[in-house]
Amino acid sequence: MSAKTVLITGCSSGMGRQTALALHRLGHRVYATARRPESIADLAAQGLHTLALDVTDEASMVAAVREIEQRHGAVELLVNNAAYGLHQPVESAEPAEVRAQFDTNVFGLVRLTQLVLPGMRAAGRGRIVNISSMAGRFSPPGGAFYHASKHAVEAISDSLRLEVAPFGIDVVVVQPGPTITEFAGTAVDTMHTAPAADDPYGSFRAELADMYAHKSFTRRGGAVSAEAATRVIVRAATTARPRARYAIGGLSRVVMTARRLLPDAAFDAVMRRSFPVPRSAAPLN
């Protein structure tokens, strides 16, 4: 397999970092990126190219793609990995939080894809790997906006796959289940676990934060290691004939299959057993 020019977002930690290292070890020219260049300085010391890239900043994205194209002609493999999880009840989420969630997880992914596609089309080849999630196939209490962003990634990828195939470009979706990375800690940080006394969702958010911190993102909760997830991402990025989707982890496959097969009422019952839900106050007499 010939060396490819690779651009990966969100390489400061977790799957992005490990994917960058794995592809570098395979001999590819890897451009690892992050909002804070100092967070990936050690990757440069290991021989990877590093760039500052903020997927919520147009100038940052344009500059990164332009630099790579000036050096190598085109980005041949784009891994859209940068994302985080906002977990809030729909009623109490701040509009600015919701916009920030979609700016990072959806609009940044779309814009960076738009920027690399002309070079891929001119070369007559390329691959875009979008890191989605099993979250793109269902939505539990407290997860509306993060899961909606991953539903959007799924829909965008399906359309894009058909649109760019005639130009020799593959589009692949990777759907991790819970993965042992820093994601859970970031998700907990969005839950505002010190609510006001009259907050109807206060105890719900506290229970949700506890679940994310101590249960769902551990091996006991069915999570897979970042190393195992990385192996699947690398396969999706490098195999000669990629599938449209790669699910990561048994829990991911089970939940997505259940969502597809169960009627809504039955799947809602599964969600209520698996996740905390808000409790209404006792009715007044």
CATH number at residue 107: 3.40.50.720
**Cβ count within 10 A of residue 262:** 13
Express each pLDDT in 215-238 by its tens digit: 655 655 577 888 999 999 999 999
Structural domain that includes position 30 = 5-181+223-259
Task: Establish if 193 belongs to a structural domain.
Answer: no
Task: Tell me whether residue 168 is in a domain.
Answer: yes
Strands (E), the chain: 5-8, 29-34, 49-52, 77-80, 126-131, 169-176, 179-180, 224-225, 245-248
Is 139 an active-site residue?
no
Q: What is the count of structural domains for the chain?
A: 1
pTM above 0.85, yes or no: yes
User: Does any domain span residue 213?
Assistant: no
- Which is higher by pLDDT, 169 or 280? 169
Contact 284, 213 (CB under 8 A): no
Report, as an integer, the average pLDDT of 151-161: 98
Q: Determine whether 216 is an active site residue.
A: no
Q: Are residues 26 and 89 in contact, defined by beta-carbon separation less than 8 angstroms?
A: no
Structure tokens belonging to residue 61: 């994205």
- Catalytic residue chosen out of the listed positions 133, 149, 150, 157: 150
Q: Is 215 noted as a catalytic residue in this protein?
A: no
Q: Which of 12, 60, 149, 157 does the annotation list as catalytic?
A: 12
For residue 87, tell me if it sits in a domain.
yes
**pLDDT confidence tier of residue 282, bands split at 50, 70 and 90:** low
pLDDT of 285: 47
> Does residue 12 have an active-site annotation?
yes
Q: What percent of the chain has pLDDT over 90?
A: 76
Catalytic residue among 60, 132, 133, 157: 132
CA separation for the pair 226, 6 (Å, rounded): 20
- Within a domain: 192: no
Q: Which of 187, 180, 193, 203 is nearest to 278 (CA)?
A: 203
| 215 in any annotated domain | no
- pLDDT score of 90: 96
Active-site pick, 146, 201, 212, 246:
146
Q: Is residue 63 part of a domain?
A: yes
Q: Mean of the pLDDT values across residues 120-138?
A: 97
Mean pLDDT for 170-195 is 74
Does 210 fall in a domain?
no
